[in-house]
């Protein structure tokens, strides 16, 4: 288990779908964690890769968070 904080970005139908989403949003592979969840997968991104670490956990306005949704 790592000491990194990850933030859930959503659920996808497959590993490939989650990987494509991360690539489109310029998330480095080492900042991504994909976990099996039911019939699909859940994508999590290392919080430090999302931008300003002083931002609230649910504040998606800063750094690389722009344009994700």
Contact 63, 51 (CB under 8 A): yes
The reply to whether 27 falls in a domain is yes
The reply to whether 42 falls in a domain is yes
- Structural domain containing residue 21: 9-51
In angstroms, the CA 55 to CA 38 distance is 31
The reply to whether 47 falls in a domain is yes
* Total count of domains within the chain: 1
In angstroms, the CA 3 to CA 34 distance is 16
Q: Over pLDDT 70: what percentage of the chain?
A: 70
> What confidence tier does 60 reach under pLDDT thresholds 50, 70, 90?
very low
Q: Over pLDDT 90: what percentage of the chain?
A: 46
In angstroms, the CA 66 to CA 42 distance is 20
**Statement: residue 23 has pLDDT above 60:** yes
The reply to whether 62 falls in a domain is no
The reply to whether 38 falls in a domain is yes
The reply to whether 34 falls in a domain is yes
């Amino acid at each position: 288990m790592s000491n990194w904080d990850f933030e859930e970005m959503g659920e996808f139908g497959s590993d490939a779908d989650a990987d494509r989403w991360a690539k489109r949003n310029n998330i480095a592979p080492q900042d991504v964690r994909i976990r099996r969840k039911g019939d699909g997968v859940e994508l999590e991104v290392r919080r430090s890769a999302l931008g300003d670490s002083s931002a609230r956990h649910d504040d998606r306005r800063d750094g690389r968070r722009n344009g994700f949704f």
